[in-house]
Amino acid sequence: MNKSIYTKMCDEARNNLSQYSVLPCHFDILNFPLEISMEYPTEIFLKDTFEKYKELQKLYVKDEEILDITENLCNMLVETIKTYKTGDVYKSYKSFEEGLMSISKDYFIISAITPEDKFYRMRSDLNLTEEKDFYCLNSKLRHLCKAERYSIAGYPCFYVGYSKKDCKVEISEHGSIIDINLEKNELYVFDVTFNDQKPEDEIKFITIWPLIAACNMNYNYFDEKKATFKEEYLIPQFLTMFVQRNRKKLREDKQEVCGIRYFSTRNRNLDVRQKGTPNDYRNVVFFPSGEGDDGINELMDKFHFDNAENI
In a domain, 140, yes or no: no
- The partner residues of 178 in beta bridges, in order of sequence, read 121
Q: What kind and span of H or E run contains 14?
A: helix 5-15
The Cα 284–Cα 261 span in angstroms is: 4
* Cα dist from 69 to 62, 100, 269, whole Å: 13, 10, 28
In a domain, 69, yes or no: yes
In a domain, 129, yes or no: no
Say if CB 120 and CB 161 are below 8 A apart.
yes
pLDDT (tens place) for every residue of the chain, 311 residues total: 578 898 899 999 999 988 888 866 667 888 888 888 888 889 999 999 999 999 999 999 999 999 999 999 999 999 999 999 999 999 999 999 999 999 988 899 999 999 999 999 999 999 988 889 999 887 787 887 788 899 888 888 999 999 898 899 888 889 999 999 999 889 999 999 886 667 888 999 999 999 999 999 988 776 767 777 888 999 999 999 999 999 988 887 778 999 999 998 887 666 665 555 656 788 999 998 877 788 889 999 999 999 989 99
The Cα 190–Cα 186 span in angstroms is: 13
In a domain, 35, yes or no: yes
- Please give the residue range of the domain that contains residue 199: 5-113+147-310
In a domain, 80, yes or no: yes
Selection from 305, 286, 284, 307 nearest residue 162 by Cα: 284
The Cα 49–Cα 18 span in angstroms is: 13
The Cα 79–Cα 131 span in angstroms is: 44
**How many structural domains is the chain composed of?**
1
In a domain, 124, yes or no: no
